[in-house]
Structure formats: structure tokens, C-alpha cells
Structure 1
Amino acid sequence: MYLIEASGWLANADKHPSPNYNQRPNSAEISLLVIHNISLPAGHFGGAHVHELFTNCLDCSAHNSFADLQGLTVSAHLFIERDGKINQFVSFNDRAWHAGVSQFEGRDNCNDFSIGIELEGSDDIPYTDEQYRELIAVTQSLQRYYPAILTARIVGHCDIAPGRKTDPGSAFDWAYYKNALG
């Protein structure tokens, strides 16, 4: 397990503060974990494009598929690369802009009460052992620090934005991940 500092930063993560966040509502208890995937360009791994997107530094002319990202302001709390490297963009205490239009158990605006973790990947490419190892360790740390994040309250982006989002996709092994959480 990992140390979560009182400031909401994961002690062992590489920190890349994003401007794309704001304060959570005062009444918002952190009680949901949302698993996502991202790769830029889609299906290509490595490089700095995801970091650049989350910090508003992406050159949208660098690849023809980036045109739709012009002016987009998004972030996640964490981004776990293929080799297991953990990057943090927003303090867990703050509201990262990862879920968009979303709903969980009848409650809208999941960003208000969730933590978002992006895995470097795509819906149909298996995730790496290193990613699962780090995701499991981070999740256990989050569950200890935020006890309202029960295993039943760990979902995919597809679950809170059905019809709009598909990640983390069919390649994500939910049974393995949730069994490893205990």
C-alpha cells in the first residue's frame, strides 16, 4: 500500500499538477472510484501526449486525431502507464474533470464524489501486469484512506456514462482486479 498525504497527493507518484480541477462541494464525501483508459493517439502507448492533454499543453496539430481535443480541459487524479509508473495530476481532495456527464446510483456529476484513475490503454488491448499491480496497491490505499469507496463502488467510465463511454473496455479484467482487492 501507498501513503496518501493529508494534502491528497500520493507519496510515491510523479506529480504533474493540472489546472483542470476545482473544489469539491462541501457535502461531497469521496465514495466512488472510476477506472478509465486513455492513449494518444488511440492505441499508441508511451510519449508525453496524455501528460500534455491533462496539463493543457497538447499540440493539437501534432496528430490528425487530436483535432477534436482542441480546447478540451480534462484531467484525472492518476494516470498509470504501461510499465506501472504512477502519475498524479490532481489532489484526491479536489475534483478532477474526468467523468463528464455521469450518474451513479441516481446521483449526477460523479466528479463531485469520485476519484478517477486513467490506465494507459484502450478497450481491446490487454492491460499489463505492472498496471494491475499498481492499480491494486493504489486502490487498497484509497479504500483505507476513503472508507466509503467500497469495492461495489468501483466502476468503469462505461458504468457511469453508458452509451457515451466504453472504457476501460472488454480487455480490463474486472474479476482479477476485484478478487485481488480481497
Structure 2
Amino acid sequence: MAYVIKNGILNDNSNPVRQIRSRNTGGAFPAPPGIVVIHFTAGGSAASSANWFASRENTNSSAHVVVDRDGSIIQCVNFNEVAWHAGKSSWRGLAGLNKHSIGIEIANWGALRGGANGWYNAAGQKVDNVVMAVHRNGNPDGSRTPIGWEAYPAAQFEAVVALVRALREVYPIAEIVGHDDIAPVRKSDPGPAFDMVRFRQRALGGRDQNGANVGVVRSPGGLNLRSGPGTNFAVVQLLADGSKVMPMGVNGSWIEVTTLDAAGKPSKTGWVHSHYLDLD
């Protein structure tokens, strides 16, 4: 699929995608947005979320688009206008991400509830497409053991990749973050079922395929290098933001790396969470 954006409207095969417009906008962006924020809806269909954004009962939330499980997209706010998706938020010195970012909502239930025969969404329906994981900031129920999260179908993932690629043709998009990055205490979306490392690689692209296999730490507060793939393992070293590492292996959301010194020579080996590692 290949999308094109014309005058702030997303087009598929020269036709605008389905529009369910929300009145909840902040007017024109003060400057072209350079960040994409990924959310999950914590609900059912994309249409149900888009209809809520358009409802007169809803006076304080919206997003630019909602992407359904089959990859279909509904646009709710013109890309040239501010949408109310981020709430109280901050990232790399910016406060209030609404005026700096484009918000993409993905139809997904997020954290599920365990039952006798499996995992269930907030509507009480059993969900079969489940990823067992622990949110890096702690699960919404306060636990730190694996729970069920609804998986993101391949068609949906690929649609969001194509969307961000189209956005980059028009806007200076340089970063992709989750709602749980910019509001980590309040929010858990898009959650551990969303492979953010792979998504960034696919959506941002531009990697030198002939270059060295090197990753860069992206964490303003530093990133713990641990002795094993999990927060229960001891911290070997605190890696500074911008540190370069060589990926060695993968275990779930954790990547085994060897740190590189200033001369690019291997130093210590350990494990880091993939969310904070840029492999582009």
C-alpha cells in the first residue's frame, strides 16, 4: 500500500480515506510537526473510536487517524491541525506534545484480563491473539509479571508503517514515540505487544545497509545494561544517551549487546530493553 497526503488529507489510490471528522482540534500547528505518537484505543473497532472523537459528548480528545485491525484507516483531524491526543506530556525538553506531534490511534484493547479459559477484553470478550509480556513501566494493574496484551495484526502494523512513510514525505518527522514514552505514569499505550524497535526501523528507514551493525541508546536518563534479559537481573553499567552498542542476540523485548568505547572497540556485554535502542 502507498498513501499520499494532499492538503492535510490522507489519500489511498488518489481517493481520500474515510473521514469521520472531530471538532476537537487546536487549530493550525505553530510549526510543522516532527514527532509521531503511537496510541492504542483500548477499545473495539476503529469506527467506534472515530465516532467517539466526533461525538458532541466528547469535548476533550481526538487523534489524527484511527487504524483498524484490518489495516483500514479513518481520518479524524487534518494533519495540518493540532489534535488532542497527548494530554499532559513531555519529551526531550518539549512540553505539551499535542502542538508538536501527529497522533495515531491503533484499534487495540491493550492490557487484557485473565480468566479461567484465557484472556478477555474490557467488554468481556475472549481474545485469542495474545502477547504475554510485562510493561516496562509496570502493568496497568500494578503487577510486574507477564499478563496478556492484544497482539497487533500484520495488516494493521504494515498500514501504520505506510502511513508514517507518507507523513515523512510532507512533514519533518524525525521521531516516533509511544504515549507511554511521553506520559509514562498515566499511560501504557501502545504497550509491549507493539514492536516499536521494528516499527521505527520500517517507518523511518534510511539505514545504510552496508554500514556497521551498530545501535544507539535513546534514553535521556541513561539506560541500564543488565546481566540478563529482564529487570530482575543486576545492573552492569548505566549507558549514557547516545552510547553506541553492537547487537548480539534477542530474548523477547531484550537485546544482548556489547558496548563500544570511543574508538569503536568492544567493551562490556549485557542486556538492554529494545524500546530504548535505535537500530536504524
Task: Check whether TM > 0.5.
Answer: yes
Structure 2 residue matching 1:145: 3-state secondary structure? coil
Structure 1 residue matching 2:150: 3-state secondary structure? coil
Q: How many residues align?
A: 161
* 1:17-32 matched pairs, under 5 angstroms: 17-26=21-30, 28-32=31-35
In structure 2, the partner of 1:66 is none
Moved over 2 A (4+): 45-49
Shift of 1:125: 1.0
In structure 2, the partner of 1:68 is none
Q: Which has the higher helix share?
A: 1
In structure 2, the partner of 1:3 is 4
Q: Tell me the distance in 1 between the aligned counterparts of 2:159 and 2:79.
A: 17
- When the two chains are superposed, the root-mean-square deviation of aligned CA atoms in Å is 1.7
The answer to whether the aligner puts 1:80 opposite 2:67 as a matched pair is yes
In structure 2, the partner of 1:38 is 41
Shift of 1:178: 1.8
In 2 relative to 1, CA 57–85 (structure 1 residues): closer, same or farther, beyond 3 Å? farther
Give the structure-2-normalised TM-score.
0.54
In 2 relative to 1, CA 10–133 (structure 1 residues): closer, same or farther, beyond 3 Å? same
Q: 2:29–2:81: 8 Å Cα contact kept in structure 1?
A: no
Give the structure-1-normalised TM-score.
0.82
In 2 relative to 1, CA 136–57 (structure 1 residues): closer, same or farther, beyond 3 Å? same
Q: Which amino acid aligns with 2:170?
A: Y
In structure 1, the partner of 2:238 is none
Q: Tell me the distance in 2 between the aligned counterparts of 1:179 and 1:48.
A: 29
Of 130, 133, 136, the match for 2:155: 130
In 2 relative to 1, CA 94–83 (structure 1 residues): closer, same or farther, beyond 3 Å? same
In structure 1, the partner of 2:165 is 140
Whose RCO is larger (CA < 8 A, sep 6+)? Answer: 1
Partner deviation per Cα, 1:23-52 (whole Å, 9 max, x = no partner): 1353x2311100000133xxxx33743122
Q: Which amino acid aligns with 1:23?
A: G
Q: Tell me the distance in 2 between the aligned counterparts of 1:77 and 1:47.
A: 12
Shift of 1:57: 5.2
For structure 1, which runs of at least 5 residues remain unmatched after alignment?
Answer: 59-70
**% identity of equivalent residues:** 37
The answer to whether the aligner puts 1:168 opposite 2:190 as a matched pair is yes
In structure 2, the partner of 1:63 is none
In 2 relative to 1, CA 48–29 (structure 1 residues): closer, same or farther, beyond 3 Å? closer
Q: Tell me the distance in 2 between the aligned counterparts of 1:178 and 1:101.
A: 24
Q: Which amino acid aligns with 2:199?
A: Y
In 2 relative to 1, CA 133–108 (structure 1 residues): closer, same or farther, beyond 3 Å? same
For structure 2, which runs of at least 5 residues remain unmatched after alignment?
Answer: 111-148, 206-280
Structure 2 residue matching 1:3: 3-state secondary structure? strand
Q: Tell me the distance in 1 between the aligned counterparts of 2:165 and 2:71.
A: 16
In structure 1, the partner of 2:180 is 158
Structure 1 residue matching 2:162: 3-state secondary structure? helix
In 2 relative to 1, CA 57–108 (structure 1 residues): closer, same or farther, beyond 3 Å? same
Q: Which has the higher strand share?
A: 2
In 2 relative to 1, CA 47–25 (structure 1 residues): closer, same or farther, beyond 3 Å? closer
The answer to whether the aligner puts 1:110 opposite 2:135 as a matched pair is no
